[in-house]
DNA sequence: TCAAGCTTGATGCAATTGCATCTACCTCGT
DNA sequence: ACGAGGTAGATGCAATTGCATCAAGCTTGA
C-alpha cells in the first residue's frame, strides 16, 4: 500500500537511527558516562537555567512518557544531578533544577556525544546535504495537533 | 564540536524516528496486533521461505542483540508463529521457519503497518524527495567494518 | 462552598532489555 | 585423536519499560 520509495525511507530511517543511537550510547558507556536519556533531560534543564522546569514541561519537550520521566528524575536526583523544589502556587508540582554536578556531567557527556554526532553525521554529509535532510525530516514531524 | 547543521540533523533524526515508530506501534496495538519487533522477524523469515533462517542470520539481518532474538523467537514459537527445526550438519543450531499462522499474522500486521508507513512517510514527501532522503540516509549507514 | 472532574506526579506489577555467563557443539592444529 | 579456542544459542539476575492505577491538589459550575 505504501510506495516502494516510502518503504525504503521508512526502513532506512528506522535502521539508521537505531544504529547511530546505539553507537552513541556505546561511546558514552565506554567513557563510563550515563545513557543518552540522561543527556536529553540535563540538556533541557540546562537551557531552562535557574528557573528550572516542571516535570510535565520535560514531557512536552522530550518524547518520554510520564512514568519514564518520573523515574528518570528520581535516578537523577539520587545521583545528585538535579534537585526537586516545591512550587509556590501549585502544591502538587515541583520544579526540577540542574545542580552544578549535573551541569558538569552534561559537559562531560557532550564531549563524547558531540564527537559521536560529528563523526556519525557531520563527517558523512556536506552542509548543503545536511540542510536538505533537516528540511525533509522536518516535514515528517507530527503536524501540530489541533484542539 | 559538531556543526550546528549536523546537530540539527541528529536531533531531528532521533526525534522523528522515535515519534514515527511510536505511532506505528500504537496503530498495531490498537488493532490488537503484536509489536513491530515481531514483524521484522516474521518479515525476514517470510522472505527466507521454506528454507528458514538460523537465529544468527536473523541477528545479522536485523539490529537485535543475540539474547533479544533468542527470547523473541521463544515468544514467537510459544505463539505458534514460527517453528524451530534441528539443523542436520550443526548440532548446536536450529533453523527457524514461519508457520502458516505466522504468515497470516504478518499479513494482518502489514495491513496496519503498511498504512502507517504510507500515511506517515509516503503522504508527506514526493517520490523525488523520498529518493533523496533514502540516498542520504544510506550515506549515514555503517561503513562495512573491515576485519 | 463543595462535589465532580481534571491535572500532576508516583508506584505496584508484569513484561522486556541488558549484561554476563553458561552449556553444548564444532574446528583446527598438532 | 584430542585439547584449545571459537561459535550458537540459552538463561539468571538486575535494571528499565509499559500499563494501569493511585493519591494529592487544583478548578469549575451550580
Q: What percent of chain A has pLDDT over 70?
A: 97
Cell of A8: 525504503
Distance CA A37, CA A65 (A): 12
Bases in strand D with any atom closer than 7 Å to a protein CB? 7-12, 16-20, 23-27
Closest residue in A to B15 (Cα–Cα): A63
Stated length of chain A: 147
Hey, are the CB atoms on B122 and A19 less than 8 Å from each other? Answer: no
Hey, are the CB atoms on B127 and A5 less than 8 Å from each other? Answer: yes
Chain segment A25-58, per-residue pLDDT in tens = 999 999 999 999 999 999 999 999 999 999 999 9
Overall average pLDDT of the B15-25 stretch: 95
Closest CB to B139 among A124, A134, A137: A124
Fold of A20-137: Arc Repressor Mutant, subunit A (1.10.10)
Distance CA B14, CA A14 (A): 9
Closest CB to A18 among B19, B63, B139: B63
pLDDT at B18: 95
pLDDT at B142: 73
Overall average pLDDT of the B1-11 stretch: 96
**Burial class of residue B86, CB neighbours in 10 A (0-12, 13-18, 19+):** exposed
Residue B145 has pLDDT above 70, yes or no: no
Assess whether A98 (CB) lies less than 7 A from strand C. no
Q: Which residue is nearest to nucleotide D7 (CA to C1')?
A: B92
CA of B131 to C1' of D13 (A): 46
pLDDT at B91: 87
Strand, coil or helix: what is A79?
A: coil
Closest CB to B17 among A2, A5, A14: A14
CA of A67 to C1' of D21 (A): 12
Stated length of chain B: 147
Q: What percent of chain B has pLDDT over 70?
A: 97
Q: Which residue has the cell 549535573?
A: A102
Distance CA A40, CA A43 (A): 5
Residue A131 has pLDDT above 50, yes or no: yes
Q: Where does the pLDDT of residue A147 fall: very low under 50, low under 70, confident under 90, or very high at 90 and above?
A: very low
H or E segment and range at residue B94: strand B94-98
Lowest mean pLDDT among B19-23, B84-88, B140-144: B140-144
Which nucleotide across the nucleic acid strands is nearest to B56, CA versus C1'? D8
What is the dotted CATH code of the domain comprising B22-136? 1.10.10.10
Using DSSP bridges, classify how beta strands B94-98 and B82-86 pair: parallel, antiparallel or unpaired.
Answer: antiparallel
- Least Cα distance to B99 among B76, B123, B128 occurs for B76
Overall average pLDDT of the B82-97 stretch: 92
Assess whether A18 (CB) lies less than 7 A from strand C. no
pLDDT at A144: 57
Domain boundaries, chain A: 20-137
Cell of B122: 509516503
Residue B16 has pLDDT above 90, yes or no: yes
Residue B143 has pLDDT above 80, yes or no: no
Q: Where does the pLDDT of residue B134 fall: very low under 50, low under 70, confident under 90, or very high at 90 and above?
A: very high
Chain segment A46-96, per-residue pLDDT in tens = 999 999 999 999 999 999 999 999 999 999 999 999 999 999 889 899 999
- Listing DSSP states for B106-131 in one string gives HHHHHHHHHHHHIIIIITTS-HHHHH
Amino acid at each position: 500500500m505504501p510506495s516502494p520509495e516510502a518503504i525504503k525511507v521508512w526502513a532506512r530511517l528506522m535502521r539508521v537511527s537505531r544504529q547511530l543511537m546505539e553507537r552513541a550510547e556505546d561511546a558514552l558507556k565506554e567513557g563510563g558516562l550515563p545513557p543518552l536519556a540522561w543527556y536529553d533531560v540535563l540538556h533541557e534543564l540546562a537551557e531552562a537555567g535557574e528557573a528550572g522546569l516542571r516535570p510535565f514541561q520535560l514531557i512536552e519537550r522530550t518524547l518520554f512518557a510520564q512514568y519514564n520521566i518520573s523515574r528518570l528524575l528520581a535516578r537523577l536526583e539520587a545521583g545528585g544531578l538535579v534537585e526537586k523544589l516545591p512550587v509556590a502556587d501549585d502544591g502538587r508540582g515541583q520544579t526540577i533544577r540542574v545542580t552544578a554536578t549535573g551541569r558538569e556531567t552534561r559537559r562531560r557527556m557532550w564531549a563524547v556525544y558531540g564527537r559521536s554526532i560529528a563523526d556519525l553525521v557531520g563527517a558523512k554529509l556536506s552542509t548543503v546535504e545536511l540542510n536538505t535532510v533537516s528540511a525533509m525530516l522536518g516535514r515528517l514531524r507530527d503536524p501540530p495537533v489541533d484542539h
